[in-house]
Amino acid sequence: MSMNRFADKILIITAPSGAGKTSVTSYLLEKFPQLAFSVSAATRQPRENEQNGVDYYFMSLDDFKRKIQDNDFIEWEMVYEGKYYGTLRSEMDRIWQADRLPVLDIDVKGAIHVQQQFPRKTLSIFIEPPSIGELRRRLEARGTETADSLQDRINKAAYEISFKHSFSHTIINDDLEKARQEAGEMVAEFIEAGRNGR
């Protein structure tokens, strides 16, 4: 039996790319010291400001496939054409053993798979962009995408929004400050729930 305060709890923040998921996630990590970011494995190239082991465990496709074979992932997805991302079982264990609560910033399909495996102790928050037009504007402003990958992300977003009812909560991100506050209230309650045998 785990002596962890957060025994097997998982917090998932999911959304289409560009909906503000990362920004809500970093706010939550700052506000709640009980949380720890689950670093995913990924086969894409690091962006300029990204660090191996902090943002992702960047790895070759061969290494990623070996980890699939070894059952090292609680979920993995080819999120974009040829680009694989996965949540490592070892990350969950590392974080629970440190007596903290893992936060997963993952795509919609991955989020659904994690919920299916840990149905009772997962809180999932879907961040919805105000509109596809606004999403396009944000992704363009971020400037990290080529024209092709931008269109990929927008097509995928429209599809992902159709799954929003699969999650515990939806927050429409038309005002980032408000979205952060709302998420903060949900997470505060989740952290407290079930503690001390309640």
Out of 6, 11, 57, 110, point to the residue binding ligand 5GP (CB under 6 A).
Answer: 110
> Could you tell me the smallest distance in angstroms from the CB atom of residue 162 to ligand 5GP?
16
20 vs 90, 140, 157, 196, CA distance in Å?
27, 14, 12, 34
> Could you tell me the smallest distance in angstroms from the CB atom of residue 88 to ligand 5GP?
8
Is 77 an interacting residue with respect to ligand 5GP (CB under 6 A)? yes
Is 79 an interacting residue with respect to ligand 5GP (CB under 6 A)? yes
Which amino acid type is present at position 163? Answer: F
Task: Mark the segment that binds ligand 5GP (CB under 6 A) among 1-9, 103-111, 131-139, 163-171.
Answer: 103-111
Is 17 an interacting residue with respect to ligand 5GP (CB under 6 A)? yes
- Neighbour tally for 31: CB within 10 Å: 14
Q: Cite the beta strand spans of the chain per DSSP E.
A: 10-14, 35-37, 40-42, 56-58, 73-80, 83-88, 101-106, 122-128, 169-172
> Could you tell me the smallest distance in angstroms from the CB atom of residue 107 to ligand 5GP?
4
Is 103 an interacting residue with respect to ligand 5GP (CB under 6 A)? no
Residue 47 gets which letter from DSSP?
P
Is 85 an interacting residue with respect to ligand 5GP (CB under 6 A)? yes
Distance CA 3, CA 99 (A): 8
Is 37 an interacting residue with respect to ligand 5GP (CB under 6 A)? no
120 vs 18, 123, 156, 191, CA distance in Å?
29, 9, 28, 14
Is 128 an interacting residue with respect to ligand 5GP (CB under 6 A)? no
Is 122 an interacting residue with respect to ligand 5GP (CB under 6 A)? no
Distance CA 14, CA 106 (A): 5
What residues line the site for ligand 5GP (CB under 6 A)? Answer: 17, 40, 44, 75, 77, 79, 85-87, 105-107, 110
